[in-house]
Structure 1
Amino acid sequence: MQKTERDFASPTTEAVFNRTRLEMSRVFTKAGMKTEKVLFQWGLLLLVVGFLLGRALILMKIMPFALPFFAAVMAIKKEKAPLASLAVLAGAFSVSIQNGGTVFATLFVFLLIHRFSGILTMDPLKKLPFTVFSAMLLTKLTIFYVFTKEFTMYDFTFVAVEAGLSFILTMIFLQSVPLISYRKRKQSLKTEEVISLIILLASVMTGTIGWMIYGLSAEHILSRYLVLVFAFVSGPTIGATVGVVTGLILSFANVSSLYEMSLLAFSGLLGGLLKDGKKLGAALGLVVGSLLIGLYAQADQGLTTNLYESLTAVVLFLLTPSFVLKNLSKLVPGTSENMLEQQQYVRKIRDVTANRVEQFSNVFQALSKSFTQNGFYDEKPSADKEVDYFLSSVTERTCQFCFKKEQCWAQQFDTTYEYMKEIMLEVDNGTLEQNPRLIREMDKHCVKSKKVIDVIEHELTYFKANQHLKAQIQESRRIVAEQLHGVSEVMGNFAKEIKRERENLNVQEEQILEALRNFGMEINQIEIYSLEPGNVDIEMWVPYCHGRGECEKIIAPMLTDILGESIVVKNEECAKYPQGYCHVSFGCTKAYVVDTGVAHAAKGGGFVSGDSYSMIELNAGKYALAISDGMGNGERAHYESSETLQLLKQILQTGIEETIAIKSINSILSLRTNDEIFSTLDLAMIDLQDANVNFLKIGSTPSFIKRGDKVIKIQASNLPMGIIEEFEVDVVNEQMKAEDLLIMMSDGVFEGPKHVENYEMWMKRKIGELQTNDPQEIADLIMEEVIRTKSGLIEDDMTVVVAKLQHNTPKWSSIPSYAYRKKAQ
């Protein structure tokens, strides 16, 4: 089937459409950011709200809104207080000169009382409502006295009611003003904050009373638009609540609008119920509510006017961008968008915590494998080997000093072995007395047959007891392994169920966001998960920079200056397309870094060494260097040493203290080792924040720190691991400095030099004579020097680990941000 011209053109058309859509999205994003800057950073929104609150009246006389708004702005965002004062004064003077003068006098008295209230040792936010109440009461009483020269109970009640309303509104505005003065991203509002915001918006609408647009009331249009928005975003509950609160406040301002409360509440309920029908469904709820409630309107306001006002509110609602409604829904608790936003953070915390628990699960899994009977060296001996061991012990007591030993075991080995084996089986079965033939043949063959039979009977009792004991030990091992495996599975399952609530760091997010944007950086979103010293965790979504490295070169240095800690890019996921956003994770760097070098060799130049080494960077800001030497050489020694380091690594990565980790490993080794094969451990734990080092030496040789021309010996006395079940770990602490060299070695290197009486002095002299600071070169030179003293022979396993401590210098210097430095702390 041939493709048509349209089929060939479709991919290109789709690509053009996608590019156009992405470009439009980018344009809208930039426009939104500029609008946000004007509204929040420049304070235009505060200016508009202050102007309308300055005009707002209750019962055409009471003005309780202006002073609480100004006081809240001064307490929360002091730099915007002059703008707020000008706004409320302009609003009050726009009503009348008398109202403007009253507001001016109220603000003046409030500032005086606020200035002298500093002598009270009380939380400023808690004493602010009382300061507003006092200023309003004192100002109104003074005005009544000056202009009327007398007081009546009605006048005093009037003033007390206005001051009381100011007291209540101050507490409400303290919660709602931050919502219009800061641009908070991804923040979930509390129910009290939502109600406070609604009261603020309804109070603002009272400032529009008397405004008419082509015969339509502005406060009716705005109030119905507000109810429609919240009903669509939050559902019927919040929609009806917004309708009741808004209608009640408007009825206080104008008693003739009392019926408006019923219309708004019913419309909010219907709009919320019909929100599944998208915008048109919510709009239909308002229209139906207006038609039903409008029938009960006053005679001077017809149904047509009421309907036109509702339709105008519907048009404004339909013109509202969807992303604005979506962002608003993220702030209101209980909405699906808000729940999804919270779940994203919970998911990250849950994953981090689950990974930690999974590490514990891996430790128990490793312990379980150490006890497993089918391990590398836990194979059960065959029956023939058991018989051989038994007959060997019998031979040591009977045939060792017999004059016919050479004849019986050298010339007639098979015959002697079969006779003794058959006697052992007959004794074991209790049928030896019933087999006189075997006894006679044994008497003819062996001159000490009676003694041999007696020893076999005696040793067989111990042999059986030993066999039973071994079986019990094997069974105990199996049980312990199964229990540890079960614990591992339980912790693994538990890791999947862990949850943790998010810390409230929205103020810090806003401050960092403001600092970056004032610098000219375009930041789409910021999430702060932790600001703990040494454990900063910040994520950002920034526009694609076409590979210029803006996150590493600009944002991270600015965060370094703001937070007072060295911040770097931990992970960066670049956008899939040029108009997209990159996901960047920022975190702290360590004060020091470790550069290492290793040299090792097996005995006789073999491939399997009994020495093992490990270098582990732990999550707790520590770096571990470890050398383990299994007793002996070859594969068995390698297994013991590598098993020790594997257990150590998994236990340390869980965050368990190093002394407890070593005791745990020692207990495991002492329990699971049958014969006398042990392992040493040389462990150095370096703190990358302060360069403090803990040395734990378990049967190991000394280590050395080279600081310039000075060589410091580090030594401790502890038995090798696995010899005794309980012992105290001797910890040696040493403070290292930048450019110090830590040199650790196994006994094959320390005791390796031939014809040397004092190994310690010889090693310190060789280390002091080194002319290089490169860790790998030092390891190679020490190894080469030791091997040269033995004429090129390697008589034991040899391992040298060298670590160099250096200051961690960031790649990019910090960028000053003086106005915001350390605010996020």
Structure 2
Amino acid sequence: MERIERRIVSQISEVRLNETQAVFSRWMRHVKVRFAHLFIHKGFMLLAIGFLLGRALILSKLLPFALPFFVSVYAMRRDKAGLAFIALVAGSLTISFETALFVFAAMFSFLLLNQFVKKFFDDLLKVAPFVVFCLSLSTKLAIVYFFSGTPTMYESVMTLIEAGLGFVLTLIFLQSIPLLTVQKHKQSLRAEEMVSLVILLASMLTGTIGWEISQLSVEHILSRYLVLVFAFVAGTTVGSTVGVVTGLILSLANVDNLYQMSLLAFAGLLGGLLKEGKKIGAAFGLLIATLLIGLYGNGKTDAIPTMIESCLAAALFLLTPRSWTETVAKYIPGTVEYTNEQQQYVRKIRDVTAQRVSQFSRVFQALANSFSNDRFSSNYKCDEKEIDYFLSDITEKTCQTCFKKEQCWSHQFDTTYEYMKQMMVEVDAGKLLQNHQLLREWNRYCVKGKKVISIMEKDVANYQANKKLRKQIHESRKLVAEQLMGVSQVMEDFAKEIQRERENHYLQEEQIFRALQDFGIEIGHVDIYSLEKGNIDIEMSIPYCEGRGECEKLIAPMLSDILGETIVVKREECAVYPNGYCCVAFGSMKAFVVETGVAFAAKGGGFVSGDSYSMIELGTGKYAIAISDGMGNGERAHNESNETLRLLQKILQTGIDETVAIKSINSILSLRTTDEIFSTLDLAMIDLQNAFTKFLKIGSSPSFIKRGNNVMKIESGNLPIGIIKEIEFEMVNEQLKAGDLLIMMSDGVFEGPSHVENHEVWMKRKIKELQTNNPQEVADLIMEEVIRASSGKIEDDMTVVVAQIKHNTPKWATIPAYMYAKKAQ
């Protein structure tokens, strides 16, 4: 019992703890949102920046920061210019009244001059640096003249330097102020923006010169903290840059801080090098730099205060929340956080794109369903509605003026309707005149029987035309539905391909990279797009090998051992990268290859044949062989057959099923012209992974498969393409084996010898007698035999395509990579 009570108390405590954590998390998020609202949206951050820049001096005399800052704020965020004005005046008052007067006069003069400037310039941003230069120069000279009389040469030169600094700082502040005062998402900092931001932060630090806590300099603590943050977040390059820039600006403000530039630069370097040790490693780098450089400052007596300042900066850095450093890192290219942020953005775009493609797929599927759910019946006999319309039209022409109308259609409706319906069916079938019994009964029943029959025989043509039109509409709707469904399936597959996670291959990329590096092969990068069995897709960059074939002879065999599958070079582009590296794509080797041979001849030995052929290697791991025979001979037949194969190739390459592709081509060719132009199509789709072959023979001659001494015939009874719009194709499947010869031919070859009674037996005998398995030799020998058997005459266009199925044997044996062979699988 006590155990149960303790468990209940423990669970209650855990629930309360989770609730407390949830409340604390919500409170922290609320505080973060309020903080961002006050400091960024309300502009209170400008108060802090303006106050520090208002008291920031160069060489203890020059004040180049105040006016550029105010002009930049006025140009970028005019609604917050009042806060900047107050902050700058307040900061300058902490130095002297003369300084405050200069700041106030310069800003007030700008407000007056701006009313004049905007009449000539629409964009203040373009002329702001020149306005600052002129105002700074004129205002400072005026104040010097008011207090001291005519300016000396020294004062004039210093005033000119201050105005020049103001010109440069205006350009810098225009880039850096939006980074601190405007919340932007998915934005990376360019190198110029990063340096501008550092200059702004370092300029703010000069405003802290003279502030001390127990004889410890505040600007030293904050400057080292700033360098630590950037070194930890972005590494040695950025850390050293921040150290140099910060140290330079602090030394310009106070010559005694000149040695700080070396200390901060060295601290940024060591902090970036030791960032792998987390925050403690970066802080340790600062302490080492302080020990090595700090001793050469103002003597050994200052070593202890300098170390204490570095310790305080390190402590402040260690207390910095991790979320802050991660937020900063997201904006700096090259950091892990920035890469993850970009990957999330790319993943989001990818998912949105896949979703849109999937939505389009569903739209096409819905359209296909709407067309397939045809309201017209597939049985094209007379339906009740059409019969009613037809009989209503007949009745209007005959019964409307008949004196027995009321009796026939009110009192004897069923009998009248059945008689007229039966006669309509007989008229539609053309058998009414032979049905004497029905005619006698109808003439006895109706006083206008002959007139009704006469009008019915005349109007039945319109009825039959309407019925034919309905049938064509139904066929067209069915064809469109099939095509839309095919497009929908292709788009759905594409959406799934887009959503495939490539991030899961990072471990395998690293393992392959290390395996090749350990073997002594220099690799730029490895990108894995697919590790699916039989469909591996890997891309690498390697140094130019000067034609020695390292990719084919070394890298591909090693990948074959690592991945447990034969890998070959699919594509190689030499020296495409700026550093001279080559781009090489590796992929799975297909289990089979197809070697082909072709022989053809035009009728009468002409130059243009009505036959066309094509060998297409599809990206789906299939190999298509096709022969098309246009009706007739000559250029017109050639154009028709060539158009058929061109359409077939384009549609098959999209990934649409071959049956849908054939029906689409049939629809296009049948609707394109009213001429009696038809084409045959003999198509073989060979799967290169297992040699399974699909045959689609549309009005074509038989094909033959030679396996050893056996010859098999492949045929089907499909009509040629373009004869009828509604067509169903019979598909023949056959499992081919290595060494098989597939022989496809047009009717000019199969039916070439006119004296032969049984063309099939004759062709099988000729194929069996062949003494070679070379595809080109086989094609030439068959063509020669047919022409010999025709007494040297070519009575029709002739085309023979021969394909031999072979095992795909790699040229190079695998090279073992023992340590990583199993890890990357």
- Please, what TM-score do these two structures have when normalized by structure 1? 0.45
